[in-house]
Amino acid sequence: MTNGNPFSKGVSLGHIVATIGIVIAGFTVSYDLREGIAILQFKGETVEQRLDRIVVRTDDQFEQIMDHLVRLEGKIDEIIIERTE
């Protein structure tokens, strides 16, 4: 600290340890973010697959309901025709 300069040109051990700690913490945060993103992607894909199965099942059920309605309509038509004759 001569000549009124408060900064030294040397690097202290504390600075090196702190820098290494910050770098390790950065890598840890990056890894945790990647892991979290991978988990969310998997959950999103799972939900998407589940919704696709629900849509297929609902479409199948709708087709069955429509088939039943068509048959009922045919039977009602037959009953109405028999009564009018």
Q: d(Cα 54, Cα 60) in Å, to the nearest integer?
A: 10
Confidence at residue 2, expressed as pLDDT on a 0 to 100 scale: 54
Please say whether the beta carbons of 20 and 13 come within 8 A: no
Parts of the chain with a pLDDT under 50 = 1
What pLDDT score was predicted for residue 1?
A: 45
pTM of the model: 0.54
User: Domain boundaries in the chain?
Assistant: 13-84
Write down the pLDDT at residue 4: 66
Rounded Cα gap, residues 43 and 37, in angstroms? 10
pLDDT digits (tens, 9 = 90+) for 54-74: 999 999 999 999 999 999 999
DSSP H/E element including 4: none
